[in-house]
Structure 1
Amino acid sequence: MGRIKRLAAAIFLLGSCLATGPASADTYPSRPIRLLHGFVAGGAADTLSRIIADGLSKKLGQPIVIEAKPGAGGNIAADAVAKAAPDGYTLGLVTGAHAISAATYKSLSYQPAESFDMISTLVYYALVIAVRSDHPAKSLGELIAMAKEKPGTLSFGSVGFGSTHHLAGELLNAMAGIDIMHVPYRGDSQSLTALLGGEVPVVVGTPVLLAPQIQSGAIRGLAVTSPKRTALLPDVPTVEEAGVKGYDVRTWAGLLAPKGTPPSVVGALNAATLDVLKDPELRQRLETAVGGEVRGSTPDEMKQLIGSEIAKWSAVVERAKIPKI
């Protein structure tokens, strides 16, 4: 009987351990964490991932391994995160394109809001509309005038269909009454190469990638897409300054986890993220990386943001008559 009792006690103890699981708040994290993003290496999402991973790794005491799964405007990476085990060991860094996907795709294998547990937003930043330095348009107003004079003859490059960059161009089309054709590329670097090589006359890109080219004189920044000028490019006017009143496009980046991640783990990750974002050096690195503004959030605030972004971009897609894929 003593042996049976000891065996029963061992089974009970094992069951108790399994109930708490590897994602217990007391033990999490006990091994390396994967952080996925959906864009090419060297781009804004990759840079942001590495900066925040560095801070969180020190805070949580475990390595955070960055994994890029580029393609489909971030959808491939988002799908991988949605299907991962909800144990806190697979996270995703998403950008504004995460919400845009709901507006530009006929169907997705996941739901941008409901398939995830949100952790926190990280940073908000504007985009830049630019041309090569030898382009005849010296301002956005001149580019708009050229587009109106010869409809359908101009094109703009972006990081891909369904990206914030793409929709920023389409919103400009709709609000300025012009028709500049979209040409998708796989990442900021490819769209910039296309601009410099003359494949496209206009590009919509991130300040961090375009600023060095603007400062060197290789390309000309015509406008930033936010209501206020960015500190990274203080001499580049806003789209609204060019006469397109009410124009405002700012993308963002945030962290999320698969739906069903234990609340204690989500809470631990949110607390760690907000704490890391208070570090002055890390804040400066994030803001310098994208020319933006660091802004953390609660999980609920991030979920509300995604919902409002889906509604906003769905209206833009409908207004611009962009065909869904």
Structure 2
Amino acid sequence: MTTMIQRRRILGALGAAPLAAASLPAWAQGYPARPIKIVVPLPPGSPPDVLARLVAERLQEAWKQPVIVDNRPGATGMIGMDAVAKAAPDGYTVGVMFLTHTVLPALFGKVPYDTSADFVPIANLVWLYNVLVVPPSVPARSAKELVELARTQPGKLTYGSGGNGSPAHLLGESFRQLAKVDMLHVPFKGPSEAVQALLGGYVSAMFATTSVAVPLVNAGKLRAVAVTSPTRLTALPSVPTMAESGIAGFDMKEWEGIVAPAGTPRDIIAKWNHELTSIMQLPQIRDRLSELGMEAAGTNSPDQFTALVRSELQRWTQFVKTTGLKAD
């Protein structure tokens, strides 16, 4: 009898061993133990994509596992973020979240996920600034001249963007409101398509990210009339800020960070945050970001990034309500 009881206990213990191991935190089991995926909700070559690839390369070196950048463009980033929200919360799928995702809920009324509840913010990585550019066909050499031109032709000048709720859309709407001009928003399927339309003269103006605008301005294909940064950009020292151009109250900068699906263990979130913070402090990474018109956000905890996302959700919900901003 005693022998039979002992056998049952031994067998029970052996059967419970896998369950006990499975209940251990993923990090305690040697995370990461297989390839990792970073979902970018925009096409290759976009600022979030470039950032993700810089990070992926360093993560591979540090963690000795493949880090795959998975581009999931569409619906102004909602398709990609929905994939992240629905992924297993095990640390092997994360995504790049940016400012746009805190505008979409208010702009569309409904998105396929809950921005405030379905993600765990890990770390904000960068701040970005934009350049107000026009094609050579538009006879404006400053923001002031663009405003004057728009006032003489109400409703005829247009500004392009990569889609409803995109940073270029928000910047264009802010410009329209603050400058008190009547300009028509023209959304495209992505920032690359919008830039091509601008180069072709199909739209009158656009707020383009520094990494996109500077090469085109230097090549003479576009004209820069103002920058959204608080001080002049090193890459465009002769281009005035919006404040210098007489448009006060223009306070907006983009951000891009990494988020995981809700439910991802805190120890894995902590490991990601530690590694991302280390990567963003590397001089070569900071220099490369500067070349791309990005500024490393500095050390920030998951709680701090969570606070940023929540404050941006509140800010843009209020913006949509007070301005009556609509999806075109």
Please say whether Structure 1 and Structure 2 have the same fold, judged by a TM-score greater than 0.5.
yes
1:8 is matched with which residue?
Answer: 12
> Structure 1 residue 296: deviation in Å?
3.7
1:35 is matched with which residue?
Answer: 38
> Structure 1 residue 7: deviation in Å?
1.7
> Structure 1 residue 3: deviation in Å?
4.3
Match of 2:293 among 279, 290, 294: 290
**Is contact 1:116–1:256 with CA below 8 Å preserved after alignment?**
yes
Q: What CA deviation, in whole Å up to 9, does each residue of 1:136-172 have, x standing for no partner?
A: 0111100011111221101011111111111010011
What CA distance in whole angstroms lies between the structure 2 residues aligned with 1:255 and 1:25? 22
> Structure 1 residue 290: deviation in Å?
3.0
What CA distance in whole angstroms lies between the structure 2 residues aligned with 1:81 and 1:308? 21
2:309 is equivalent to residue 268 of structure 1: no
1:243 is matched with which residue?
Answer: 246
Residue segments in structure 2 that go unaligned for 5+ positions in a row: none
2:182 is equivalent to residue 195 of structure 1: no
2:159 is equivalent to residue 156 of structure 1: yes
What CA distance in whole angstroms lies between the structure 2 residues aligned with 1:251 and 1:234? 20
**Is contact 2:91–2:269 with CA below 8 Å preserved after alignment?**
yes
Tell me how large the CA RMSD over aligned residues is. 1.6
> Structure 1 residue 319: deviation in Å?
2.9
1:125 is matched with which residue?
Answer: 128
**Structure 1: which amino acid aligns with 2:23?**
A
TM-score (norm 1): 0.95
TM-score (norm 2): 0.94
**Structure 2: which amino acid aligns with 1:18?**
A
What CA distance in whole angstroms lies between the structure 2 residues aligned with 1:16 and 1:311? 42
1:88 is matched with which residue?
Answer: 91
What CA distance in whole angstroms lies between the structure 1 residues aligned with 2:150 and 2:185? 13
Q: Secondary structure at the match of 1:228?
A: coil
What CA distance in whole angstroms lies between the structure 2 residues aligned with 1:287 and 1:314? 31
What pairs with 1:172-321 in structure 2 (closer than 5 Å)?
172-321=175-324
Q: Secondary structure at the match of 1:151?
A: coil
What pairs with 1:66-105 in structure 2 (closer than 5 Å)?
66-105=69-108
Name whichever of 294-303 and 122-131 sits farther off.
294-303
**Structure 1: which amino acid aligns with 2:21?**
C
Identity %: 35
- The structure that has the greater radius of gyration is 2
Q: Secondary structure at the match of 1:165?
A: helix
What CA distance in whole angstroms lies between the structure 2 residues aligned with 1:324 and 1:188? 16
Change (3 A) 1:25 1:223: farther
2:48 is equivalent to residue 45 of structure 1: yes
Q: How many residues align?
A: 324
